[in-house]
Chain A
Amino acid sequence: GQNIDQPTEMTATEGAIVQINCTYQTSGFNGLFWYQQHAGEAPTFLSYNVLDGLEEKGRFSSFLSRSKGYSYLLLKELQMKDSASYLCAVRDASGGSYIPTFGRGTSLIVHP
């Protein structure tokens, strides 16, 4: 199975940049996802990395290093609405079923 670790909580200031880290251990890595989840709502897809490097999408970027079992989500120009939980999920294809396993999530609080 996977062992996924991410910080429980982070705080940042509106307009700033924040980096949320995720480390994982898996036997059949087949992709890493980042989801955003506001309280009481469904997780929404942010990014997907399967190859090493940086994927940029607007204010959000995601980085992956497969050799280090490490990813980060970078949020720029923070807005108050970015206050949410950020979930790192790793997919393991070793069993053939391509199931994403989620970390506990990082609760990001953006303050003025």
Chain B
Amino acid sequence: GAGVSQSPRYKVAKRGQDVALRCDPISGHVSLFWYQQALGQGPEFLTYFQNEAQLDKSGLPSDRFFAERPEGSVSTLKIQRTQQEDSAVYLCASSFSYSGTEAFFGQGTRLTVV
């Protein structure tokens, strides 16, 4: 595709509900990043993939958060038993090279947990 695509753009979940957020990176991009951005803050790193391999998941805040990229393209970020503090914008970014010189971001999914 022309850019990084994320869906849904907006998601309202009841506390305790499971959610799945999708990221379609730019075709051919090997690096994929997930970030969480709270209002008025910079993006906080969650996890990183190189092709299908999840090389770093140190930023995932709890074991309720899980990410996968099984075929090295589309990635899904899953949050189980959502809590109010999970409310944020979840940004996906992809990069052509392994060193990720320039990362392109999607518009994000705004998650609101009520």
B residues 28-55 near A (Cβ < 8 Å) are: 31, 33, 35, 40-45, 48, 50, 55
Residues of B within 8 A of A31 (CB): 101
Question: Are B45 and A105 closer than 8 Å at their CB atoms?
Answer: no
Report the minimal beta-carbon distance from A33 to chain B, rounded to whole angstroms: 8
B106 part of interface (Cβ distance < 8 Å) = yes
With A30-B99, A98-B99, A99-B45 known as contacts, the answer to whether A44 contacts B105 (CB < 8 A) is: yes
Instruction: Write the nearest CB–CB distance from A99 to chain B, whole angstroms.
Output: 5
The one of A87, A95, A96 in contact with B43, judged by C-beta atoms closer than 8 angstroms, is A87
* A residues contacting the other copy or chain, number (CB 8 A): 26
Please, how many angstroms separate the alpha-carbon atoms of A30 and B101 in the complex? 10
Chain A residues near B100 (CB-CB < 8 A): 91, 98, 100
Interface string of A71-111 (1 = CB under 8 A from B): 00000000000000001010101011111111111010000
Instruction: Please report the C-alpha to C-alpha distance between residue A91 and residue B33 in the assembled complex, in whole angstroms.
Output: 13
The reply to whether B99 and A102 form a contact with Cβ atoms under 8 Å apart is: no
Q: Name the CB-closest residue of A to B39.
A: A39
* Cα distance A17–B102 in the bound complex, in angstroms: 26
For this complex, 25 residue pairs linking A to B, each with C-beta atoms less than 8 Å apart, are A30-B99, A41-B107, A42-B105, A42-B108, A43-B43, A43-B105, A44-B105, A45-B103, A45-B104, A89-B42, A93-B99, A95-B56, A96-B55, A97-B48, A97-B55, A98-B31, A98-B99, A99-B45, A100-B33, A101-B45, A102-B43, A102-B44, A104-B40, A104-B41, A105-B42
